Copies of this chain bind each other. A is one copy, B any other.
Amino acid sequence: MLMHLSSWPEIDARLKSTKTVVVPIGSNEQHGPTGLLGTDWLCPEIIAHAAEQTDDSLIVAPTFNIGMAQHHLAFAGTISLRPSTFMAAITDWVHSLGRHGFERIYFLNGHGGNIATIEATFSEIYAAPSFQARKSRTIMKLRNWWDLPGVTPLCNRLFPTGHGAHATPSEIAVTQAAYPDRIKTADYSPQIAPNGPIRDALDYRARFPDGRIGSDPAQASPEKGQQIIDLAVPALLRDVQAFTDEALPGT
């Protein structure tokens, strides 16, 4: 069930049987010479929507498409929230969903740069009930799509060298599978991009002139992307089910 294509009575009815919702979350940021700017929000959206196609009982919220990408701001098309803004926005999403009775909110994340801020936000959200000596209305879980069981091993098999950390062939491949008419090519130089630390945007661009980190996206193909999606979908469904089934203390 895609929330944005449903009516409120449909969500209301579904809340009688499930209290879990999946929020695809990512970033709009440069992904090297050929990667789509939307890669990091498209990947979790692609996987979550495919999972919803497989099992309509999965409730999928709209995609949270702008995250924390300050380090990519020296490349055109990157849109970033400051971490403090990102925290406020995630908080409002969680409180909105919790208002309706969703008790377990599962963020399927597509951007490594989001992780710290999302985790900090969870703590900010929990801090309010913790200071007030009451239980939180919602529990939240963060799962990067590449950490779904089996996905990273598959990516490593598909791309034993040049997988890297940004503009990876696996994320490029996932978007190629979903948007085959948007596949772009380029001559990469070097073929495998350098590695290094991530700091501010100018430092990033000086280290990683075309935006990639450690990757060779030329290895991506729609077929490999589909393989990843096909593995990720059932893994996501199982992971969400496990989150839904997790017993909480005192309940």
A-side residues, CB < 8 A to B, are: 3-12, 15, 28, 30-38, 41-42, 61-66, 68, 70-71, 73-85, 87-89, 91-93, 95-97, 99-101, 113, 115-117, 119-124, 126-127, 129-131, 133-136, 139, 179, 182, 184, 186, 199-203, 206-207, 211, 248-250
Contact = CB atoms under 8 A, between A and B. Distances in A.
Nearest to A141: B197
Contacts of A34: 7
A4 B37 contact: yes
A77 B13 CA distance: 11
Contacts of A80: 92, 96, 127, 130
B4 A31 contact: no
Contact of A117 (B91, B120, B200): B120
Contact of A65 (B62, B71, B186, B199): B62
Number of copies: 6
Contacts of A70: 123, 126-127, 130-131
A5 B118 CA distance: 25
